[in-house]
Chain A
């Protein structure tokens, strides 16, 4: 199979994806301007995530490619999230086991009576 057999992505698809990306950019700017409280960050991340998936799936031709490349990209993100999640598991919950002043111990383990 000579190199030329590679799938050529039609320009219409590329243009459609580009349009969708621009649209999503406008959406994310608008939604960020209005204060939606706590869902502001997840929403912005969701839109950015979908834009990223669009770029990867079509522009980077993952759709037409050997799926190992998709696995490699997915692994990249998975380990970035692992790094983030376990670091936040530390930074978010610090100092609540050592101090027994009232109100600071979220872990409901009553201290062991020293015999």
Chain B
């Protein structure tokens, strides 16, 4: 991905082959992400099937309104990323910069909301693992009532899943920052925009993971 725009690597026959190879490589990487998260979904499913009542009871502590807001924010960022690919294919780079900035903003909002959620939990003793001893009353819920067996498991799984997902959002934000500087410097054109396409694919997958995380953790 050298900076002189449309370079064709010597070991590729033409642009098309290089672009398709990059895309297939990205899709294979996305499969590894899916399987990485599948491990956590299996842990969630196993513990939920063993202790359904604890999971529904403990999930009352998660604020579904913030979860819904985060879902909308991520969907919006997916939309802006898809639009940015649309315009980079048309060569309207100025719109691409705006859209990528919007995506970055949405991702930032997502992380801020996540910070608020985590802060709310940590301040009331809801920690993953051994540190779990909830206390205090927050909007009508007495947290100390949630100190029941296997509630730590629920919150550990919650923190591990949303934590690793959060890390992926941060990585996405870094990528978008890097992309914006390159679009601004005019590295991409309708002939060569692979990095934008690949980062877009990565971001959509991060969104898909959250699409599954939100109902499983917050709603049911």
Is A115's beta carbon under 8 Å from chain B? no
- Closest Cβ neighbor of A18 among chain B residues: B79
Is A102's beta carbon under 8 Å from chain B? no
Q: A18-B79, A72-B31, A84-B41 provided; 14 other pairs, C-beta below 8 A?
A: A3-B6, A3-B16, A9-B86, A32-B215, A47-B215, A48-B211, A52-B211, A55-B207, A58-B82, A66-B24, A73-B27, A73-B31, A76-B30, A80-B38
Using A3-B16, A88-B45 as known contacts, say yes or no to A44 and B216 having CB atoms under 8 A apart: yes
A-B contact pairs, 11 of them (CB 8 A): A3-B191, A4-B89, A14-B83, A18-B79, A29-B68, A52-B208, A59-B204, A72-B27, A76-B31, A83-B38, A83-B42
A interface size (C-beta, 8 A): 50
B220 touching A32, Cβ below 8 Å: yes
A61→B79 CA distance, assembly (Å): 13
Distance from A12 Cβ to chain B, minimum over Cβ atoms (Å): 11
Contact of B35 among A48, A52, A76 (CB under 8 A): A76
Which secondary structure dominates chain B's binding surface?
helix
Is A56's beta carbon under 8 Å from chain B? yes
- Closest Cβ neighbor of B87 among chain A residues: A11
> A1-60: which have CB < 8 Å to B?
1-4, 6, 8-11, 14-15, 17-18, 21-22, 25, 28-29, 32, 40-41, 44-45, 47-48, 51-52, 55-56, 58-60
Distance from B38 Cβ to chain A, minimum over Cβ atoms (Å): 3
A66→B27 CA distance, assembly (Å): 11
Is A92's beta carbon under 8 Å from chain B? yes
Contact count band on B: 35 or more
Task: List chain A residues, Cβ under 8 A from B207.
Answer: 55
> A69-110: which have CB < 8 Å to B?
69, 72-73, 75-77, 79-80, 83-84, 87-88, 91-92
B49 touching A32, Cβ below 8 Å: no
Using A59-B78, A72-B24 as known contacts, say yes or no to A29 and B64 having CB atoms under 8 A apart: yes
Is B190's beta carbon under 8 Å from chain A? yes
Contact of A25 among B19, B68, B79 (CB under 8 A): B68
B211 touching A66, Cβ below 8 Å: no
Task: List chain A residues, Cβ under 8 A from B72.
Answer: 22, 25
A52→B20 CA distance, assembly (Å): 23
- Closest Cβ neighbor of B39 among chain A residues: A83
A32→B68 CA distance, assembly (Å): 12
Using A83-B38, A88-B45, A91-B50 as known contacts, say yes or no to A56 and B64 having CB atoms under 8 A apart: no
A88→B78 CA distance, assembly (Å): 33
Is A112's beta carbon under 8 Å from chain B? no
